[in-house]
Structure 1
Amino acid sequence: MSGKTTPQRPAPRLYLATPVVADPAPLAASLPGILRSSDVAAVLVRLKESDPRSMIRNVKALAPAIQDAGAALLIEGHADIVARAGADGAHLTGLAALDEALPSLKPDRIAGVGGLATRHDSMTAGERSADYVLFGEKDADGKRPSVDAIAERLSWWAELFEPPCVGYAATREEAIEFVAAGADFVLVDDLIWNDARGPAAALSDIDSAIKQAYMAIPAARAG
């Protein structure tokens, strides 16, 4: 034995997806307080389909609230407007979208990808320099894999591959399970925005839950 130890992996962080944005003003006003409540690594801005100029204007209206809080701003799709909008990257769905977006995003911006139905697709995304892979989000029909299947995929990826993996959590319990499975980030959306306590309180609660779940992982597994 060499005696070499594996460093403990960092605590997972939150990845917050916005509702679909048509008018950015209310969200831009509320985001600073929401983001102050928790450790948010990135915000995924979901834009209402419109002309490029309007979508760029909407992203620019949200950018200060997100980026001044130390979070990366990613746009869902629309990699063609990322640079002009001052965003940090894009989240793509599927390998074809990733391939199309890479020339405009690399090397300076983030290219994340979801919609990866198979292990082979996931490995291909990693080989093509995706900055992270997302597991567990809804498909076009609103369906998701089982929680066990998502956790299994996260565990498989975390054990074997270097790029970060993200688990989409629809409930607090899922967030905890995905942390235990090895997720580097936990993506949340409706779980936060639909909470009766308000998004800041909901986000803070999830942040605390994933930190507690991380602390409960035995050191041998966390490394």
Structure 2
Amino acid sequence: MSGKTTSARPEPRLYLATPVVTDAAALAASLPAILASADVAAVLVRLQDSDPRSMITTVKALVPAIQGAGAALLIDGHPDIVARAGADGAHLSGIAALEDALPGLKPDRIAGGGGLSTRHDSMRAGELGADYVLFGERDAQGRRPSPDAVNERLAWWAELFEPPCVGYAISLKEAADFVAAGADFVLVDDLVWNDPRGPAAALAEIGATIRQAHAAAPAAVAGQG
């Protein structure tokens, strides 16, 4: 991987993670309006652990709504069902999971990397061929790095490495700050689904926040290199 040389950084895009899917039909029915409210690059589908056939059926129910909106569908884990479910890729947590999954996913499908607690792990994910690296997500105990730590990691990555970086935001302020730090994508979940106005309104507001933060970013961030 080499230093970034692009003259202007594109406007960061949204990466929407679903709650654990318990009613695929209801979610599929609601997604077109939600995804139409903002520029969503991808949707991360979180599945209930079950038998492969049931999980594949769940994903297949969501494929038309997500891919029909122009977004990629990634599965949280379970790389073994990606092809059979018609998904675009998988998000893997930890270097071992990424290493195991890459041969079956690349080059045709997306392999994203998360659970990268150290700079070394982040660089290793990039060297292995991860299509993006995610910073700021919760661990198995529900803990996550401080926003300052996520900002620092995003800025470091954005300055030096080619694969896109994703910042996981739990507030509008974090979304704006992560864009300013250099995030290529902003991952959101509860910030959308728990909003009393509804997910479409929440996502639209987050999208507007991202646009404003990108427009206000200093030249050194808006154009790396």
- 3-state DSSP class of the match of 1:170? coil
Amino acid at match of 1:105: L
Tell me what 1:62 maps to. 62
Q: Is 1:23 matched with 2:37?
A: no
Tell me what 1:124 maps to. 124
After TM superposition, the structure 1 = structure 2 runs for residues 35-54 of structure 1, keeping only pairs within 5 Å, are 35-54=35-54
- 3-state DSSP class of the match of 2:90? strand
Tell me what 1:104 maps to. 104
**Mean Cα displacement is larger for which, 5-14 or 21-30?**
5-14
Q: RMSD of the TM alignment (CA)?
A: 0.8
1:7 shift after superposition: 1.2
Does the 8 Å contact 2:181/2:221 carry over to 1? no
After TM superposition, the structure 1 = structure 2 runs for residues 1-223 of structure 1, keeping only pairs within 5 Å, are 6-223=6-223
TM-score normalised according to structure 2 size? 0.96
Cα distance in 1 for partners of 2:105, 2:75 equals 12
Cα distance in 2 for partners of 1:153, 1:173 equals 17
Cα distance in 2 for partners of 1:6, 1:36 equals 29
- 3-state DSSP class of the match of 1:221? helix
Query: Deviation digits for residues 31-81 of structure 1, max 9, x if unmatched?
Result: 000001100000000001110000000000000000000000000000000
* Consecutive unaligned residues in structure 2, runs of 5 or more: none
Cα distance in 2 for partners of 1:6, 1:103 equals 29
Amino acid at match of 2:118: T
Cα distance in 2 for partners of 1:205, 1:137 equals 21
Identity of aligned residues (%): 76
- 3-state DSSP class of the match of 2:55? helix
Amino acid at match of 2:210: I
1:23 shift after superposition: 1.9
Query: Deviation digits for residues 192-221 of structure 1, max 9, x if unmatched?
Result: 000000000000000000000000012233
1:6 shift after superposition: 4.8
Amino acid at match of 2:7: P
Cα distance in 2 for partners of 1:208, 1:219 equals 20
Cα distance in 2 for partners of 1:136, 1:6 equals 25
Question: RCO (CA 8 Å, sep 6+): is it higher in 1 or 2?
Answer: 2
* Consecutive unaligned residues in structure 1, runs of 5 or more: none
TM-score normalised according to structure 1 size? 0.97
- 3-state DSSP class of the match of 1:19? strand
- 3-state DSSP class of the match of 1:183? coil
1:103 shift after superposition: 1.0
Aligned residues: 219
Amino acid at match of 2:81: I
Question: CA distance change for structure 1 residues 35 and 117 in 2, over 3 Å: closer, same or farther?
Answer: same
